[in-house]
Chain A
Amino acid sequence: MKVYINYDGNAACRVILQEQLERLEVRYQLFDLGEIEISDDISEETFQELQNALNKYSIYILNNQKSQLIQRIKDTIVEMVFEKDKMPVTTISHYLSDKLNLSYGYLSNIFSEYTYTSIENFIIIQKIEKAKKLIIDEELTLTEISFILNYSSVAYLSSQFKKVTGLTPSMFKRIVDKRRRLVNNG
């Protein structure tokens, strides 16, 4: 037997969304254009379950929540490196999981999955960015900078600087000074 059907994809999609959100007891409000307002904070597990359930119907949640979390991780690290006179001595994994209330393993995985780098590497890049600023704006010595950024030695700071930039700190300073002079005179 062959039958013909007529369907409205939009209406079907709304019904699926309603069914799944209600099954997971999520309070929500549906808007047009694929926007859903979820009324309460839902747990990561519920969110994951919702996502899996919807994927079966080829409905995908655009990953705003993850992008937001990654942004929060980055902001927390930048704040830790930049906004204090001296970096806290606590381990970074504790610092992040305390601040964000999530396990470091979870944060670390999600970060690596979406940023093409690791939390550790991101921190190194930020510390070197701060070191650059201190070299240029504050004219601090490497000894002072390694203290502020919790490096165990000047040699370690220099080698990390070289790894991230390919330059020695002194070559870096010379380049920035000459470049500024050129820009100011040009």
Chain B
Amino acid sequence: MITHQDSIHILIADDDEDDRAFFNEAINELKMNSKLTLFKDGKDLMEYLKLPNIKLPHILFLDLNMPFKNGFECLKEIRANNRYKDISIAIYSTSSSEKDIEDTFIEGANIYIKKPNDFTELKKIIKDVVNMNWQFHTSGLNIETFFFSV
């Protein structure tokens, strides 16, 4: 079991440098111990995840639109592999259509973030998501039915 003394391990894949910097800032402002690793696209991310001796993250943030390998492809690949079954996956996108949200969850995402235009709002969302995910990891909830759309 993880406790408050442990740190939460977060990965992010996003091709936009500003977005990455922003996420970094938002996560550093959280009151939790955290370790953050950033990737510039889905291909880099998947290569990293395939390494044999890494400590797998608690949560992975995936941008939907990335070159080489987009967020949806990464999601499918990760969910097809049992090694990653305990990682919660947060997808973010500019779409708020119910169908897109539903499809993303059906493919195995746990969290869907409709990206707001406002940075302050996004920061709050990231905090809520990391917190909810922490509750999920520390409270023995079922990952199969863990969904959070925000």
Q: Hey, which bits of chain A sit against chain B, CB under 8 A? A: 63, 67, 70-71, 74, 78, 114-117, 121-122, 125-126, 129, 132-133, 136, 164-167, 171-172, 174-176, 178-179, 182, 186
Chain B nearest CB from A169 CB (Å) reads: 12
Q: Identify the B interface with A (CB < 8 A).
A: 1, 3-5, 31-32, 80, 98, 102, 105-108, 112, 131, 134-135, 138-142, 144-145, 147-150
B76, closest chain A residue (CB): A186
Q: Nearest chain-A residue to B131 (Cβ)?
A: A116
A166 and B149: CB pair below 8 A? yes
Q: Please report whether the interface of chain A is mostly helix, strand, loop or mixed according to DSSP.
A: helix
Alpha-carbon distance A82/B139, docked complex (angstroms): 13
A174 to B32, CA, bound (A): 34
Residue of B nearest to A114 (CB): B4
For B134, give the chain A residue with the smallest CB separation.
Answer: A116
Indicate if the CB atoms of A165 and B3 lie closer than 8 Å.
Answer: no
With known contacts A122-B135, A171-B98, A175-B102, A115–B145 Cβ distance under 8 A: no
Could you name 18 residue pairs across A and B whose Cβ atoms are closer than 8 Å?
Answer: A71-B1, A74-B139, A116-B135, A117-B131, A125-B141, A126-B139, A129-B139, A132-B142, A136-B145, A164-B148, A165-B148, A165-B149, A166-B147, A171-B98, A176-B144, A182-B106, A182-B107, A186-B80
